[in-house]
Amino acid sequence: MPKLVPVNQTRVTFLSRSVNEGYARAVLAAFLTQLDPTVPQLADIKTAVSEAVTNCIVHAYPGTLGPVQMDITLFEGGVVRVVVRDRGVGIEDVARAMEPLYTTGDPEERAGLGFAVMQSFMDSVRVASRPGHGTRVTLVRQLERRA
């Protein structure tokens, strides 16, 4: 695989408040406009980022608020990388957490499909976590050129 050359990037940090999930989606959409994505491409990436940010909001800081950081990098050729990270409680068993229907939240409120949704919309999903130190989710997608 050839080395990816970044052409633009941005970083935002916000508190793990539920209202900021919409903010993260808006920032992402505004930044991606320079690539002129199709509506379905944009919807896919926004959905995956929503899931990653929602995981931070729901799971990273139980009973309190903490920072969520989102880095967006655009590369030559239309590759998008979004990294969503927190400094929260971390994930004890990443492989198990990525299994469909697994949730540490209330099963009445949470379906446990966040990582599965991310994987369905992105070309690559990587999760790194250390208990007590936080979690980093890296999402990558190659945008197709418009006809």
Q: pTM of the entire structure? A: 0.87
pLDDT tens digit sequence for 14-29: 999 999 999 999 999 9
Verify whether residue 55 is a known catalytic residue.
yes
pLDDT at residue 94, as a whole number: 67
Q: Exposed, middle or buried: residue 7 (CB in 10 Å: 0-12, 13-18, 19+)? A: middle
pLDDT at residue 143, as a whole number: 93
pLDDT at residue 144, as a whole number: 84
pLDDT at residue 109, as a whole number: 53
Catalytic residue among 20, 55, 81, 141: 55
In the predicted structure, residue 102 carries a pLDDT above the cut 60: no
| DSSP H helices in the chain | 19-32, 39-55, 94-97, 114-121
User: How much is the average pLDDT of 116-122?
Assistant: 88
DSSP-assigned states of every residue in 34-73: GG---HHHHHHHHHHHHHHHHHIIIIISTTS--EEEEEEE
Max mean pLDDT range (50-59, 80-89, 114-123): 80-89
Query: What percentage of the chain has pLDDT greater than the value 90?
Result: 73
Verify whether residue 20 is a known catalytic residue.
no
Max mean pLDDT range (19-28, 87-96, 109-118): 19-28
Verify whether residue 85 is a known catalytic residue.
no
Which range is least confidently modeled, 72-76, 104-108, 130-134, 142-146? 104-108
State the average pLDDT for the chain. Answer: 88
Catalytic residue among 51, 81, 85, 141: 51
- 137 touches 126 (CB < 8 A): yes
Domains of the chain, CATH where assigned:
6-142 (3.30.565.10)
pLDDT at residue 115, as a whole number: 74
User: How much is the average pLDDT of 1-20?
Assistant: 92
